């Protein structure tokens, strides 16, 4: 479940809870209402959570930004070494739009950043498939 913790003209911040405990953070920033796009990021802050929690968090985040805020394009930047997050974004229909080479200094090394994006129409054509694949076990219980 998502809880809105802060709203600005060009940003929204959420806490993601699992069984009443905060386990993650989601932000939508640089909301550009003229061009109908924004950036997002999410972080899981707990280690002992069920497999698939990140995917559930991504599903709810995409549902919010595309279905409720009606954003046209959602962008993100991911460290190239974070292959599990890149794979998760691809699973949800994100495509790679580019790369910033040696862009951020992390642990005394400049790291590449992968730029990804998804469009509302991709979400709309796939959200039911995502819902079924994520929540079929809990719906049948």
pLDDT, tens only, 75-112: 999 999 999 999 999 999 999 999 999 999 999 999 99
- What pTM value is reported for the model? 0.88
Taking phi over 0 as left and psi of -120 to 50 as alpha, with beta for the rest, 101 belongs to beta
CATH code, residues 2-140: 3.40.630.30
CA distance 80 to 69: 29
CA distance 12 to 40: 9
Residue 51 has what DSSP assignment? T
For the stretch 41-51, what's the b/e string if a residue is b when 16 or more beta carbons lie within 10 angstroms of its beta carbon? ebeeeeeebee
Does position 139 have pLDDT exceeding 80, yes or no?
Answer: no
């Amino acid at each position: 479940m998502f809880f809105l913790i802060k709203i600005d003209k060009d940003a929204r911040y959420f806490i993601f809870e699992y069984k009443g405990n905060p386990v993650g953070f989601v932000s939508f920033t640089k909301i550009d209402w003229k061009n109908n796009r924004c950036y997002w990021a999410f972080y899981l802050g707990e280690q002992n959570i069920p497999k698939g929690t990140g995917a559930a968090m991504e599903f709810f985040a995409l549902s919010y930004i595309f279905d409720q805020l009606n954003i046209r394009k959602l962008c993100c930047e991911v460290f190239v070494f974070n292959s599990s997050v890149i794979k998760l974004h691809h699973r949800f229909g994100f495509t790679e739009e580019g790369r910033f080479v040696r862009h951020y200094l992390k642990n005394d090394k400049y790291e590449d950043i992968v730029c990804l994006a998804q469009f509302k129409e991709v979400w709309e054509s796939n959200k039911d498939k995502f819902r079924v694949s994520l929540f079929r076990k809990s719906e049948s219980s």
